[in-house]
Amino acid sequence: MQNTTPAANGRLERFVRSIEARGLSKNTVAAYCKDIQRFEDYLQSSSTDMPDLAERTTRVVRGFIQRVHTEGLSGRSINRMMSSVRAYLRFLHREKILAESVHSRIRGRRSSKRLPRYLNEPDAAALMDKPDSQNFQGRRDRAILETLYASGCRLEELAGMQLDDLNLKDGDIRVLGKGRKERRVPVGEYAVRSLEAYLSIRMQLFPGIRSQRLFLNRLGGDLTRRSISRIVKKYSAMLGTTDPISPHVLRHTFATHMLNKGADITSIKDMLGHSSLRSTQLYSHVSLEKLKKMYKLAHPRAEEHDEEKGKK
């Protein structure tokens, strides 16, 4: 990426400060920053100043989309980038850098929704049994897998979990989500037992450690998000999956299995920490095939009976 002008750098810095003040996660702020840096670079390379941007917003943004599309970005990534650009234009108007409010002129690209990948119930159960519970790393890894599957929490939420977030007596955990929103999520007996087994060996090996982080590495340091991802992929390889499983696949698995077992979508939304039902409704499509099978078995007029077919 080329160097932007001092004015552009100043705008970007102020924008970043404004979204940091909203309590967004470091990853979200970094993604915004990367998107807007790319947009500012495009403005500079196309010699577009702020008056031009206000006057020709749609044309400028269309040119930017064309640029990033030729660089191989997917429709989903471009839509995320457009969301960042809209937020940036709104900020520029609020700061009186843009005379007009132009962010509403930006529309995302229509893209087909990909259904989330998830494990079936036998594979999920088999994955939980892969770690060797006779040693520290195996107990920790089993607790990680069980907690991800039992709670549907995000990778960053699990990585940041503290000891005092656990309430194993009552079978629930506290999760600090996006925008530092706190929620309590129930976890089942399997997860509780795995966490108790891990905590027991954690205290034996690291009795005087000061860190309150729940999951530690073998040296007693805080376990990173990258390490947790590697742990999940390691056991997915043992399971024999074609594509490695990520922590997010376990989140999808949690939501899908809950829905299949009759949980209402509003409860799933709350447990996942979604701000609206729109994100959660994606899982209803995942269960559609199962619903069709149940319908054919249960509804008296779902299919013709054999004797009716024979008359034709």
Residue 129 maps to a domain: yes
What's the number of domains the chain is made of? 2
Per-residue pLDDT, 132: 94
Q: Are residues 132 and 87 in the same domain?
A: no
Residue 188 maps to a domain: yes
pLDDT in tens, the chain (312 residues): 455 667 677 888 999 898 888 888 888 888 889 999 988 888 888 888 877 777 777 788 888 887 877 777 777 788 888 888 888 888 888 887 876 555 555 554 444 455 568 898 999 999 999 999 999 999 999 999 999 999 999 999 999 999 999 999 999 999 998 888 899 999 999 999 999 999 999 999 999 888 999 999 999 999 999 999 999 999 999 988 777 889 999 999 998 888 888 888 888 888 998 877 777 777 665 555 555 666 666 767 666 544 444 554
Q: Are residues 259 and 154 in the same domain?
A: yes
Residue 303 maps to a domain: no
Q: Are residues 153 and 269 in the same domain?
A: yes
Q: Are residues 94 and 219 in the same domain?
A: no
Known active-site residue 154: yes
Q: For residue 36, what is the domain's CATH number?
A: 1.10.150.130
Residue 110 maps to a domain: no
Q: Are residues 240 and 185 in the same domain?
A: yes
Known active-site residue 283: yes
Q: Are residues 33 and 137 in the same domain?
A: no
Residue 307 maps to a domain: no
Q: Are residues 126 and 101 in the same domain?
A: no
Structural contact between residues 215 and 158, judged by C-beta atoms closer than 8 angstroms: yes
Residue 288 maps to a domain: yes
| Active-site choice (67, 93, 193, 248) | 248
| Active-site choice (142, 154, 202, 252) | 154
Q: For residue 283, what is the domain's CATH number?
A: 1.10.443.10
Per-residue pLDDT, 102: 57
Per-residue pLDDT, 305: 47
pTM: 0.61
Per-residue pLDDT, 12: 86
Q: Are residues 137 and 167 in the same domain?
A: yes
Q: Are residues 90 and 136 in the same domain?
A: no
Q: Are residues 156 and 263 in the same domain?
A: yes
Known active-site residue 251: yes
Q: Are residues 149 and 12 in the same domain?
A: no
Residue 284 maps to a domain: yes
Tell me which of 105, 133, 164 is where a domain ends. Answer: 105
| Active-site choice (11, 139, 202, 251) | 251
> Where in the sequence is the domain holding 49, given as residue range(s)?
6-105
| Active-site choice (130, 178, 213, 225) | 178
Residue 306 maps to a domain: no
Known active-site residue 93: no
